Amino acid sequence: MTDMKKISDMKPDEIKEEVRKAYTQVADLDVSCGCEPDIKRSSSCCGESSSRKVTRIDLAQALGYDTHGMPISTTESFAGCGNPVALASLKEGEIVLDLGSGAGLDMFVASSKVGTTGRVIGVDMTPAMINKAKKNAEELGIENVEFRYGDIEDLPLDDSSVDVVISNCVINLAPDKSKVFHEAFRVLRAGGRMMVSDIVLSRPLSKEIQDEVVTYTGCIGGAILDDEYLQHMKDVGFVDVKIAGKAGSSMYGAYSAYVYGRKPDF
């Protein structure tokens, strides 16, 4: 039966519950949400059906991840739309925060870059993803990672406590993007940076598309215009804000952007 719920009729918490449901299915490999990404449209984290389905592992490899030696459970629930660690210039000893860390792939890649003197913290609101990421870390024997259950609109972290914020295809899913950027800015130390990949729009979506639950949970319906995204970041205080690259394009004028911003040194 068709899901008749409309995003515009839902409260933010109801939208988050739909997102949590969709990503519990991604964690549990229940494909009924139609979440297989497509390489040609490699910008959809939980995309709708398309001409050429590929596995999530194919997608990660196409985005430049080295998956050799990674247990399959690390990549099988990958739902990113870029490879933000590749552009984040992480250094030994840095503390990294991953917003919406999913099954942990970006955290594990980041953990090897920051080394044993650094640390990677992942925040996610889907218990099935947090549990899967914890198991993956155990299997990989990675110890400099920490998983926190929480909402990226209200981060469970202290002020000025991290050097770098990364995120992969998550902020588009947040009903209040301004709160997410405000929180990212709050937890960054002065001079800290943010490098995320996310879906943004080159033109507005129709109201019908914005209202579809499956399109929202598939990382397109909640996406905002690229200029608006950058403006939200500037409004909370980020400087040097820019789109640093593109990782793929999708339907309805949506594309996957690498977005950079820096918290000024005070």
Ligand X SMILES: C[S@@+](CC[C@H](N)C(=O)[O-])C[C@H]1O[C@@H](n2cnc3c(N)ncnc32)[C@H](O)[C@@H]1O
87 lines the binding site for ligand X (CB under 6 A): no
In single-letter form, the type of residue at position 204 comes to P
For ligand X, the binding residue among 15, 169, 199, 230 (CB under 6 A) is 169
**C-alpha closest to that of 251 among 78, 19, 18, 49:** 49
174 lines the binding site for ligand X (CB under 6 A): yes
257 lines the binding site for ligand X (CB under 6 A): no
HEC secondary structure over 130-177: HHHHHHHHHHHCCCCEEEEECECCECCCCCCCEEEEEEECCHHHCCCH
Distance CA 81, CA 67 (A): 16
Tokens 């229940």 locate to: 30
For ligand X, the binding residue among 79, 87, 121, 247 (CB under 6 A) is 79
173 lines the binding site for ligand X (CB under 6 A): yes
For ligand X, the binding residue among 15, 46, 95, 199 (CB under 6 A) is 46
Instruction: Indicate the residue among 105 and 233 with the shorter CB distance to ligand X.
Output: 105
SS3 assignment, position 255 = strand
**C-alpha closest to that of 250 among 78, 132, 82:** 82
SS3 assignment, position 65 = coil
Instruction: Indicate the residue among 191 and 209 with the shorter CB distance to ligand X.
Output: 209
Instruction: Indicate the residue among 125 and 157 with the shorter CB distance to ligand X.
Output: 125
For ligand X, the binding residue among 86, 97, 170, 184 (CB under 6 A) is 170
Q: Which two tokens stand for residue 246?
A: 């593109």
Nearest distance from C-beta of residue 199 to ligand X, angstroms: 9
Distance CA 179, CA 232 (A): 9
195 lines the binding site for ligand X (CB under 6 A): no
- Mark residues 14-43: x for contact with ligand X by CB under 6 A, - for none: --x--x---x--------------------
Nearest distance from C-beta of residue 101 to ligand X, angstroms: 6
SS3 assignment, position 254 = strand
Distances (CA, A) of 175 to 10, 53, 66, 148: 10, 28, 32, 20
SS3 assignment, position 244 = strand
256 lines the binding site for ligand X (CB under 6 A): no
184 lines the binding site for ligand X (CB under 6 A): no
Residues 99-158 close enough to bind ligand X by CB under 6 A? 100-103, 105-106, 123-126, 129, 151-153
For residues 88 and 63, the answer to whether their CB atoms sit within 8 Å is: no
Instruction: Indicate the residue among 151 and 163 with the shorter CB distance to ligand X.
Output: 151
Q: Which residues bind ligand X (CB under 6 A)?
A: 16, 19, 23, 45-46, 78-80, 100-103, 105-106, 123-126, 129, 151-153, 168-170, 173-174, 219
